[in-house]
Copies of this chain bind each other. A is one copy, B any other.
Amino acid sequence: MRKSVPLSSVYQLLEPGPVVMVTASCDGKDNVMTLSWHMMIDFEPPVLGCVISNRNYTFDMIKKTKECVINIPTADLIKKVVGIGNISGKKINKFKKFDLLKESGEKVQVPLLSECYSSLECKVIDMTMALKYNIFILQVVKAWIRPRKKRALMIHHCGKGKFVIDGKIVKLLSKKK
């Protein structure tokens, strides 16, 4: 069961730098890719930047449809996350290969990944930097989490197949968001 999240809280999901899975859909075909190159740009409405190589199948799909979904997986999905990152969707249906459950979005025509902790429906609002740096500027138009009994542990990529999983939580008085 998914639960709507206030758009003002989206930065709390993306700011820690988790590995995400980006879904896109174009001409009746869906695809999914693994991505770590993203950052928050503004709080509300939540705007983020992400870098998707123009060699990736997803680049052309998003360029054409101006839509995608940023799905945040947890540590238990790490094998799927890496497998999805290792192959291209040009010739293979990754949803079938990795047995991915998908569901419909509310604001975009792109599938959400049901197994992920969070799914952020996004619209491309700026492609000025897409040619030079492969940067897409996205606005999150709808945000979901799927609450769990256990703490949702995110994955962070350190390169060359090395990942670090969320550890200890520390709380300190911060005047900032």
Listed stretches A15-23, A24-32, A92-100, A109-117; interface member: A15-23
With A51-B40, A51-B41, A171-B162 known as contacts, the answer to whether A85 contacts B17 (CB < 8 A) is no
A176 at the interface (CB under 8 A from B): yes
In the complex, the answer to whether A163 meets B169 with C-beta atoms within 8 Å is: yes
- Minimum C-beta distance from A19 to chain B (A): 9
- How many residues of chain A are within 8 Å of chain B by beta carbon? 56
A133 touches B41 (CB 8 A): yes
Does residue A170 face the partner (Cβ distance < 8 Å to B)?
A: yes
A165 touches B167 (CB 8 A): yes
B174 touches A164 (CB 8 A): no
> Quick one: copies of this chain in the complex?
2
Cα separation A171 to B9 with both chains bound (whole Å): 31
Question: Is A150 in the interface zone, CB < 8 Å from B?
Answer: no
Tell me, yes or no, whether A131 is within 8 Å of chain B by CB: no
Decide if A149 is an interface residue (CB 8 Å cutoff): no
- Residue in A17, A160, A163, A168 with the greatest tally of chain B CB atoms within 10 Å: A17
- Check if A36 is an interface residue, CB within 8 A of chain B: yes
Q: A126–B135 Cα gap in the complex (Å)?
A: 13
Question: Quick check: is A101 within 8 A (CB to CB) of the other chain?
Answer: no
Residues in chain A within 8 A of chain B (CB atoms): 9, 11-12, 15-18, 36-42, 47, 49-51, 75, 78-79, 82, 85-86, 126, 128-129, 133-135, 137, 153-177
